[in-house]
A and B are shown apart, each in its own frame.
Chain A
Amino acid sequence: MTITLTIDGKEIVVESGSTLLEAARANGLDIPAICYHEATSPNALCRMCVVEVDGVKLLQPACILEAREGMKVQTRSERVLRARRTILEMLASTMDLSETDSIQEWFKEYGVDVQRFPDARPRRPELMDDNPMYIRDYSKCLLCWRCVQVCAEDAQYTYAINFSGRGYDTQIGTFFEKPIPETTCVLCGQCVGVCPTGALKGKREYLLEHGYTPQEISVMNTGRKKRR
């Protein structure tokens, strides 16, 4: 079954049951998304994908909203642009986004002033290098939740990481902030694979970036080890 809806004045036909994001992308219209990932259950928490739907009071997240017959959607209305720009400006004042190319591009596209919030308290926890497989630099963490999800029901069922703190001070953490080798982590690397920002990074890649040669690294005890 297909349905017809209008996105930015353009009539499009999609399979029923598609989300707005899928509908838009299948028709060559892009909607920005941060937290959405095909391999993880959707939480609709970044709100970058919000769009304006005729007859609905508040902006709606395209990544989970089901496309409906006759819907009229604007993906770049003034309200949408204001929300996206402000979210990006707040992100810029909060964390280190230097390694997140897509966001750097959106800064230009949405006319973001990265200095919009002077004297804002950023989140700058210290880099953690506590296991042979990956480093954790949560000053780059976007709180997209993907790592927590793949470590739990979305893939690995290992439950090594969860959250600490609340609100702005939420962070990804382990039981009593223990180093990774003292947790249930099996060093599978799933979390590193889904991290969009370089907050989680393979140790080897990190060392290469910091000027070590492959020879130096090979004697260093990095990589996945068989657990004793």
Chain B
Amino acid sequence: MSEFDLEPLQSAIEKYIPLGRSGLLPALHAAQQLYGWLPESVSIAIARSLRIPLADIHGVIEFYSMFTNKPSGKSTIHVCTGLACSLKRADDILAHFRDFRLQYDTPDRGFSGPVPVRRIETSPCLGLCELAPAALVDDQAETLIELDKDQYALGRPISIVYGTVRMLTSNCGNGTTLLAQYGGYSGLQKALTMRPEQVVQEVKASGLVGRGGAAFPTGIKWEGAAQAISKQKYVICNADESEPGTFKDRILLLDDPHRVIEGMCIAAYAIRAGNGIIFLRGEYAYILPVLEQAIEESRAAGYLGGGALDFDIEIRLGAGAYICGEETALFESIEGKRGFPRVKPPFPTTHGLFNLPTVINNVETLCNVPLILRDGALEYRRLGTEKSPGSKLFCLSGDITKPGLYEIPFGLALGELFEMAGGVSNGGSLKAILLGGAAGAFADSSSLHVPLTFEDLRSAGLPLGSGVVMVFDESRDLRKVVAGLGEFFAHESCGKCYPCQMGTQRQKEILNRLATGNPYPADIARLQDIGWTMTDSSLCGLGQTAASAVLSAINLWPGLFGLTEQNGYEPRQPGTDSVRAQKGKTKKPSKSAKTSRRPNRSKRAG
């Protein structure tokens, strides 16, 4: 086992030893950088240093897709095969990369076969969807890949920002905003003149609602953590952004990191927290230097690291697991464990990271906070609606003329946003819009009038999610798109609870049958039973939404799935439906699914 020089490892992981188990993910990242992969002897050395059982280390390496215990060189290319990139020849790009960029070492170090110098992996979405098709070459973004011309952009991804207002994005689009350009933390200065309870009241009065997908009122969350009694509390910025189709946080972090840091400082003051953590998704490693520099600037200016506020921030890098965006799985990950979500209650406000009171907020949520404090809740409420105040970021991608990040006040109609982005690209016509990401739902042209607010979307049965608006033109085979969703959830289920662990796999198998035009009779009834069971009884939000887009597609385009009302299909919503009485009663869907690419006129479309 001595074929690996363990000397450099010790110095690379030394600084994580005081963290104990919580130092595991950083140590594994450091080790993989050194060796390209995580061999047994290296894992044992890390286990000894951090005092972690061997079996547990193995469990952690196995959980995260960016870690590997298979022999490999130091370079990795992740080719995105996600929804937006799939529309732009991702499969061809993957094949091309496999043909031309994969190189093998001669067998050495006692391995039986050749070791790839470079690994080529796929990713279910790199958060670069408006720049599709995309890949990640080590930690550099390769975007706007044009295979035929052999052209692409490499390095820091560009930021394309549109919209009708510039509140959250006022500093976005021109590279990183340094502290000198950002100015003083005026929102924080204002907060420091108030009592912490008043800051919480101000955020409550603003009506700010979380932008990470769960739409929870931020002020109420802060109040819970502020009232929890503990010497130590945490403020966590959720920068795991892995919802397919979402890239807003990437742009906020790259272009305006001080806004995020200021938001965290204000949260820390409000709940009296001393420790802050930014949990950055592993695929966004190119943002690390930007954040590190901003934190340094902020320390030098006396905002962080002791001063008026006794608060400091560290950054943790994820390692490739969508589930780690779920708040409790994120805590487990920081604690050095597999990213299994915890049962709730208890909630993070009282039992969060290390079981201590914790406020966890999305990047975009935190970016609203300095504005609210600086201008006051009343001023903040001048934009948007009563129940959805402020502005919102939308991530437009797919078959749309002007893909990019859009900031608009809450209340514009979906169609207005769609028109603003130039409508369907290349003069095509609209088939479908995926709203809210993989965990969201499909809409068609009949929903273009719906105002983009939490309340209007809810009553239209549509999710806002993380602000994804992904457009599909009429030439797209939605059965393939839906099969891609099935693939995604099966890949990302953590495997803890039965409904999702098995349901995502069975769902994927059936959706693949449908996509190839070879469904079995009663496959739709199977999908619905699986979907409703996952929605109704899964442990966390992943399973609870893993069938949402699939069921919405069945509802909108039953014909696409071989269903017509003539053959006994009745549209139903999950949760509110009554059980399909007995399986025997389910009529067989006609085999015509094979040929039917045209949607059947459903009631909703008419």
B503 touches A90 (CB 8 A): yes
B499 touches A164 (CB 8 A): no
Q: Does B54 contact A (CB under 8 A)?
A: yes
Chain B residues whose CB sits within 8 angstroms of the CB of A174 once the complex forms: 55, 58
Q: Does B114 contact A (CB under 8 A)?
A: no
Chain B residues whose CB sits within 8 angstroms of the CB of A170 once the complex forms: 495, 501
Given known pairs A47-B499, A168-B493, the reply for A163 and B63 (CB within 8 Å) is: yes
Q: Report how many A-B pairs have Cβ atoms within 8 Å.
A: 159
Tell me the complex Cα distance, A79–B536, Å.
8
Tell me the complex Cα distance, A64–B58, Å.
29
Q: Does A173 contact B (CB under 8 A)?
A: yes
Chain B residues whose CB sits within 8 angstroms of the CB of A219 once the complex forms: none
Main SS class of interface, A: loop
Q: Does B168 contact A (CB under 8 A)?
A: no
Question: B332 → chain A, closest Cβ, in Å?
Answer: 12
Q: Does B496 contact A (CB under 8 A)?
A: yes
Q: Does B494 contact A (CB under 8 A)?
A: yes
Q: What mask results when residues 579 to 604 of chain B are scored 1 for a CB within 8 Å of chain A, else 0?
A: 11011000000000000000000000
A162 touches B55 (CB 8 A): yes
Given known pairs A47-B497, A47-B539, A166-B494, the reply for A86 and B58 (CB within 8 Å) is: no
Chain B residues whose CB sits within 8 angstroms of the CB of A164 once the complex forms: 58-59, 62
Tell me the complex Cα distance, A186–B537, Å.
37
Q: Which of A78, A91, A159 contacts B55 (CB 8 A)?
A: A159
Given known pairs A43-B343, A166-B62, A168-B504, the reply for A78 and B544 (CB within 8 Å) is: no
A90 touches B539 (CB 8 A): no
B502 touches A94 (CB 8 A): yes
The interface centre, meaning the residue of B58, B504, B578, B582 with most chain A CB atoms within 10 A of its CB, is: B58
Q: Does B538 contact A (CB under 8 A)?
A: yes
A185 (CB) vs chain B CBs: closest residue: B55
Chain A residues whose CB sits within 8 angstroms of the CB of B502 once the complex forms: 87, 90-91, 93-94, 168
Q: Does A143 contact B (CB under 8 A)?
A: yes
Q: Considering only CB atoms and an 8 Å cut-off, how many residues of chain B contact the other chain?
A: 51
Binds B, one of A113-121, A196-204, A205-213: A113-121
Tell me the complex Cα distance, A166–B28, Å.
18
B509 touches A121 (CB 8 A): yes
Chain A residues at the B interface, C-beta cutoff of 8 Å = 34, 42-48, 50, 57-59, 61, 64, 78-79, 81-83, 85-87, 89-91, 93-94, 111, 113, 116-121, 143, 152, 159-170, 173-176, 183-184
- A-B pairs, top 5 by smallest CB distance, nearest first, are A159-B53, A170-B495, A162-B59, A175-B54, A168-B505
Chain B residues at the A interface, C-beta cutoff of 8 Å = 40, 43, 53-59, 62-63, 69, 321, 338, 343, 490-499, 501-506, 509, 513, 520, 526, 529-530, 532-533, 535-539, 544, 575, 578-580, 582-583
